[in-house]
Amino acid sequence: MTFTLPGTLLAYADRGPDWATWLDGLPGVVRGLLEEWELTLDGPATHGRTALVMPVRTSAGDAAVLKVGWPHGAAEHEALALQRWGGRGAVRLLRADPHRWALLLERLGDEDLTEHWDLQACEIVAGLYGRLHVAAPPQLRLLSAQAARWVEELGALDRSAPVPHRLVEQARSLARSFATDPATDGTLVHTDLHFANVLAAAEGEDERAWRAIDPKPLSGDPHYELAPMLLNRYGDYAGRLRDGVRDRFFALVDGAGLDEDRARAWVVVRAVVNVKGELLESAAPDKDSITASIAVAKAVQD
């Protein structure tokens, strides 16, 4: 079977030798999966920031997609989470091979939430929280352990870092209390639920059916989930940043029946952790992302 990988995906070889090696091996991996899983290609491949996604047909003729992801820890338990959801609120998993980081998924529609009015999108996503936030499978990593790590890592942001030190101290103290709070673990959370990771169910189904894709799952706290919905589509806030952030925040909190203070605390922690990631772990810190994260952490507290 002949196919071409998207040039924009192949360009990820720039990210480093690990990526180049993975991309080199990818055509062979895809060929093997198509053969073993008896799939035929059914349209041009696409991709996100970490995975190749190819529309395929199963031997029974069903429309599906083959997703082969870049091997990284955050995506490790994607199949486990999708299996736990069983198609309720999330894309249905048909088959998985963790060794090749490969998933066969039901095919959803092309439409995501990036073109919707942001508050309507927040209402839809708040509805998804209710379906996705079930008891976590025991194999998942614990959010409390991540919070404990962040307490240490945020300590490396000294006063000279271009972020208000008071905000860093606040995030650190919140992370410290989350790290020992029993309510921090136990619920299956998606952790990357933003506008582009919610797709409409395929044509012919109920037009109001939306499904989450692309989880980076943890055993966590439902209140942890909001930050990606406030940080993405940042440009849409335009001249009304404070109110825009707060409108989305309350649409999510009210729509999902969450505790306002706890949700706010996690937004602050996650926003400051983003800043830490840019400043301490990125070769070329993204100034816009730093500015946006600081602005969102402030706006939810104003």
Ligand X SMILES: Nc1ncnc2c1ncn2[C@@H]1O[C@H](COP(=O)(O)OP(=O)(O)O)[C@@H](O)[C@H]1O
Q: Tell me the number of residues near ligand X by CB under 6 A.
A: 18
Nearest to 38 by CA among 61, 4, 54: 61
Candidates 23, 30, 47, 224; binder of ligand X (CB under 6 A) is 47
Candidates 6, 48, 109, 285; binder of Mg ion (CB under 5 A) is 48
CA 271 centroid distance within chain:
14
* Cα distances (Å, whole numbers) of residue 90 to 94, 100, 159, 207, 238: 12, 22, 42, 15, 31
Q: Residue 110 catalytic?
A: no
Return the one option of Mg ion, ligand X, none that residue 105 interacts with (CB less than 5 to 8 A, by type): ligand X
Site for ligand X in 98-137 (CB under 6 A): 105, 107-108
Candidates 4, 7, 17, 49; binder of ligand X (CB under 6 A) is 49
Residue 216, token pair as written in the block:
């980076």
Site string for Mg ion, 212-241 (x = CB under 5 A): --x---------------------------
Cα separation, 204 vs 146, whole angstroms = 41
Q: Does 71 bind ligand X (CB under 6 A)?
A: no
CA angle 17, 22, 23 (to 5 degrees): 95
Q: What are phi and psi of 298, to 5 degrees?
A: -75, -45
Residue 227, token pair as written in the block:
């930050």
Residue 193, token pair as written in the block:
């639920």
Q: Side chain identity at 297, as an amino acid letter?
A: A
Site string for ligand X, 216-255 (x = CB under 6 A): ----------------------------------------
Task: Estimate the share of the chain in helix, then strand, then coil, as percent rounded to the nearest 5.
Answer: 55, 15, 35
118's CB contacts (< 8 A; 6+ apart) are: 195, 233, 236, 244, 248
Q: Side chain identity at 20, as an amino acid letter?
A: A
From 112, 118, 185, 192, the catalytic residue: 192
Residue closer to ligand X, measured from CB, 174 or 199: 199
Stretch that binds Mg ion, among 57-65, 132-140, 182-190, 211-219 (CB under 5 A): 211-219
Return the one option of Mg ion, ligand X, none that residue 50 interacts with (CB less than 5 to 8 A, by type): ligand X
Based on its alpha-carbon atoms, the radius of gyration of the chain, rounded to whole angstroms, reads 20
Q: Tell me the number of residues near Mg ion by CB under 5 A.
A: 3
Candidates 34, 145, 148, 196; binder of ligand X (CB under 6 A) is 196
In whole angstroms, how close is the CB of 3 to ligand X at the nearest point?
Answer: 15
In whole angstroms, how close is the CB of 196 to ligand X at the nearest point?
Answer: 5
CA 187 centroid distance within chain:
16
Q: Does 143 bind ligand X (CB under 6 A)?
A: no
Residues with active-site annotation = 192
**Binding residues vs Mg ion (CB under 5 A):** 48, 197, 214
